[in-house]
Amino acid sequence: MVNRTEPAQLGQVVDEFAIDGDILDIRPYGDGHINVTYLVTADDARYILQRMNTDVFPDTASLMRNIELVTAFLHARGQETLELVPTKDGRDWVETDGGAFRVYRFIEGTMSYNLVDDARIFASAGAAFGAFQRTLADFDAAQLTETIAHFHDTPHRYADFRAAVDADPLGRADALRDEIAFYDARADDYGRIMAALADGSVPLRVTHNDTKLNNILMDAASGVPRAIIDLDTVMPGSMLFDFGDSIRFGASTGLEDEPDLDKVHFSLPLFRAYASGFLGEVGDTATPRELELLPEAAHLMTLECGMRFLGDYLLGDVYFATKYPEHNLVRAHTQMRLAREMEEQMPQMHAVIDEVMASRGGNGDVNDADDADDVDDAAGAGDAR
């Protein structure tokens, strides 16, 4: 899927942008699954060059307009955010034979995590994504183009998954009977968030929609979240999508692509930490139904992502960037492990949400006063942002 553009061609592309000084080096960078990302080192500054994935985002002009609008809005509110570097003739991106490219200023002095075991760090990520959403509550959603239709519509994703199973172009489905049965067995659950959006008990908000931990840049010295990146999927959505996707990626004791499933467990302490950070920012705006569905959202986003990985494996790895032939299957297996463990711990997850809301003076039920003290610790870390 990832075909690298020739270095000489990349040099020509970068040359179209208003970059300070001579370009010294261009090399592949980061762990994103969608765009092809390069670090560009010039005399005076570093930059991120991205070949945008125009299969995934075919309407580049609208995508880039969304990013312009959202980054300008965040910047005006004093938040550190992505900064596009224009071309020498004032455009936001260039289209070449080798694809569509954009350049951002490199956000210096930061790092990101693919795995975290420190609950305080994860709590601060929750607070950062919560604050992001709270800030965007004032953004006029009508300005945004939906960059990918049905992005977190889980029943729609399941239909796509079934179509991949039926097409089975590489004859892989036979060996995946257990995995396919796993997703079929849960089909009745997939519509819960979409139903709540449809009946109005869960409001549409402007959401990030791709809230995995490596889409937050943390200050390398202090560990404090600095900027939320990967704004390609900022669209009208549900708070539940953002919360659930963060949990599926970050409340795991293993990497998203950990091949040894013995290392992959759903972590209730990490769930608690993230919930305290996130709800510390948006808990007062959450509807009762949103609060009630937060644990299910984590479960659903984990199922959804897993079926996307498995569907992509069935289709021959045409969507997510992969580093080896079984990569998407390995990813699907971690998501299945996590979803199973969430099913086992669903009552505890609900209790955590109640405790977090109670400890922040919200309207949740108090189930366990001792655990609520632990929540206070994690909430304190989240507030340290």
Task: Determine contact, residues 240/202, Cβ cutoff 8 Å.
Answer: yes
Distance CA 302, CA 297 (A): 8
- Pattern 51-90, binding to ligand GN1, x per CB under 6 A? -----x----------------------------------
Residue placing its CB nearer to ligand ADP in the complex, 114 or 363: 114
Which of the choices ligand ADP, Mg ion, ligand GN1, none does residue 233 contact, using the CB cut-off of 5 to 8 A by kind? ligand GN1
Shortest distance in whole angstroms from residue 256 CB to ligand GN1: 6
Cross-strand bridge partners of residue 205: 237
Residues 6+ apart with CB under 8 A from 174: none
Pattern of binders to ligand GN1 over 247-266, x per CB under 6 A? ---------x----------
Measured between alpha carbons, how far is 2 from 199 in angstroms, rounded to an integer? 41
CB of 34 to ligand ADP, least distance (A): 4
| Contact flag: residue 215 with ligand GN1 (CB under 6 A) | yes
Residue 202's nearest CA partner among 259, 242, 253, 151 is 242
Can you count the helices (H) and strands (E) in the chain?
Answer: 12, 10
Contact 278, 127 (CB under 8 A): yes
Provide the greatest CA pair distance for the chain. Answer: 63
Tokens of 179: 């995995």
Which token pair is 207? 């959401």
Q: What does the per-residue mask of binding to ligand ADP show for 273-302, with x meaning CB under 6 A? A: ------------------------------
Return the number of the residue (268 or 321) whose C-beta is nearest ligand GN1: 321
Residues found near Mg ion in the complex (CB under 5 A): 32, 215, 230
Residues found near ligand ADP in the complex (CB under 6 A): 29-35, 37, 48, 82, 104, 106-107, 112, 214-215, 217, 229-230, 232
Residues found near ligand GN1 in the complex (CB under 6 A): 32-34, 56, 210, 212, 215, 230, 232-233, 245, 256, 305
